[in-house]
Amino acid sequence: MAGRGVRGRVGISARHLSALNTGTTSARTLAEALAIDHTILLLAVLPDADEELRARVAAAQKLGILQRMKSIGAALAERLDAAEVERLASHPSDSVRGWVCFLHAARATAGPAALLDELRCFVDDGHFAVREWVWMAARPTLTSDLDTSIRILAGWTDDRSERVRRFASEALRPRGVWATHIPELKQHPELGEPILNPLCADPSRYVQDSVSNWINDAARTRPEWAVELCGRWASESTDPATARIVKRALRSVDRTATRS
């Protein structure tokens, strides 16, 4: 009954939902990703999973999606060897590749640089969901050492891949989506400028949206900073990309209040 309800709400056929649950296809939408039963997916991917692992995944299935992915990644981190991790890292299921992102995050002990090296391939993954899972997985480690993380991510802003450049911005958004806020960047968003400034005229709308959302996040606590930064960019650049970023970045700012 529950399965039929999910299919009815998001328009997933029984055949397609079965393919999602067994990991033979990728989710086409967020709704499809949310509909996956990870207890079924686990057995399809790791049929020899022990009872404890099965129980932990069953418990995780009852959690919200972010906590579910974190819990499964942590459970797998305790069990899988390097060869198994490598196999799952190229699995056709975007959810399985997402598990691996959180697995690496659970094992992260050496700080942002080492973790980012592990996650780089997922940052440039062809599937939208994996690109979301990877920044969510990395974020706790990145925020544990903001100076190092900002320095590394600033170096990613000139990457040829728009996905890598977008990650550089998205990973440390002050508020983020489905993510714990970063108080230091909410109060001191200027710390993020080494990442933001190189992207102020990025040609990719994917990147532009992330940059403008970053500034909009910070504008909720530091509107005067957002107005000053965007004013500077607008005065220095005639690129239409900059104009688009500035417009979106200031969409929630009461400019009258910032002048009072």
| pLDDT at residue 196, as a whole number | 98
pLDDT in tens, 6-37: 444 457 899 999 999 999 999 999 999 999 99
- Residue 246: pLDDT above 90? yes
User: What residue segments make up the domains of the chain, in order of their start?
Assistant: 174-260
| pLDDT at residue 5, as a whole number | 40
Going by pLDDT thresholds of 50, 70 and 90, the confidence category of residue 88 is very high
pLDDT in tens, 191-234: 999 999 999 999 999 999 999 999 999 999 999 999 999 999 99
Work out the average pLDDT over 148-156. 98
CA nearest neighbour of 88 among 80, 43, 216, 53:
80
- Residue 4: pLDDT above 60? no
| pLDDT at residue 112, as a whole number | 97
| pLDDT at residue 10, as a whole number | 58
If one compares 255 and 32, the residue with the highest pLDDT of the two is 32
Work out the average pLDDT over 39-65. 97
pLDDT in tens, 112-151: 999 999 999 999 999 999 999 999 999 999 999 999 999 9
| pLDDT at residue 178, as a whole number | 85
pLDDT in tens, 158-194: 999 999 999 999 999 999 888 899 999 999 999 999 9
Mean predicted lDDT score pLDDT of the chain: 93
